[in-house]
Amino acid sequence: MHHLPFTALAAVYDAIMADVEYDHWADFVLTYARDGGLETGSALDLACGTGGFTRELHQAGWRVRGLDGSPEMLAVARTRLPEDLRLDVGDLRTFDLGETFDLVTCVFDSFNNLLTPADLGAALARARAHLRPGGLLACDLNTRLAVRELWEGGAVEGLATTPDGREVHYHWSHHHDPEENLGVVQAFCRLHDGAGGTQEFVETHRERGYDPADLEPLLQAAGFARWEIVEYPDYAPPTPETPRVWVFAWA
């Protein structure tokens, strides 16, 4: 019943996350890129998961490559992306694809899954190494506040329908571990097969929150020339009450 993060969840992820506004996030990122003189080109989507954001970049005319640590998530992505769009299994901290890109993205607080500043710094350095001179990294991260107070009431639950018509009931509970300073989500799912059978599983996900003051020295150490840390959707400076920040960092 217990599974590693982003393994069993891959089968129901898109059903549960059907309301995620990947299209709006892509418009937010690409508007910033265009304003900085980056119209189109090659893109690397890190922690691409099942390919929701990857697809938006592709549809906007970018030549995209995806990378994720979960073969199960990538198997789902393969069913919804063009056959010639390359997808790689890799660790955010150590990957080396042997090429550089105009744009590197990492969305939906994926970098928060890196539980130490050293690990996040290593991932930022790998992202920087895969950017051409003048290229842009765009990513979002939950702040420390968000990881402490993820959901009102500490849980979310609901029903969703998978693309093949199966019903999934999910109940995800959150708590903050003050000793480790991590947010912990227990993700329970019950998948009904339509013929009276069910499959249940639990995944435990952990995140560390990062504030702008945590991020700036890591961006500098990774070799970025300049950066902005802003709020979505208006690019405003973050406040102490900001739950999620977006980072735009230029190589």
DSSP strand E in the chain: where? 2-3, 42-46, 63-68, 87-89, 101-106, 131-142, 155-161, 167-177, 182-192, 198-207, 226-230, 244-250
Confidence of residue 35 (pLDDT cuts 50, 70, 90): very high
Confidence of residue 12 (pLDDT cuts 50, 70, 90): very high
Confidence of residue 163 (pLDDT cuts 50, 70, 90): confident
Does 231 reside within a domain? yes
Together in a domain, 200 and 220: no
Does 5 reside within a domain? no
pLDDT at position 23, please? Answer: 98
pLDDT over 90 at 197, yes or no? no
Does 3 reside within a domain? no
59-100 pLDDT per residue, tens: 999 999 999 999 999 999 999 999 999 999 999 999 999 999
Confidence of residue 223 (pLDDT cuts 50, 70, 90): very high
Of the candidates 128, 133, 115, the one whose C-alpha atom is nearest the C-alpha of residue 182 is 115
Averaged over 235-247, what is the pLDDT? 98
Does 50 reside within a domain? yes
Together in a domain, 199 and 215: no
pLDDT at position 110, please? Answer: 98
The total number of structural domains in the chain stands at 2
Together in a domain, 35 and 67: yes
pLDDT over 80 at 179, yes or no? yes
Does 201 reside within a domain? yes
* CATH number of the domain residue 181 falls in: 2.20.25
Together in a domain, 202 and 219: no
Together in a domain, 107 and 200: no
Together in a domain, 167 and 136: no
Together in a domain, 172 and 129: no
Does 168 reside within a domain? yes
Residue 111: DSSP 8-state? G
pLDDT at position 109, please? Answer: 98
Domain limits for position 73: 19-144+210-250
pLDDT at position 164, please? Answer: 86
Does 59 reside within a domain? yes
Together in a domain, 71 and 133: yes
Together in a domain, 34 and 75: yes
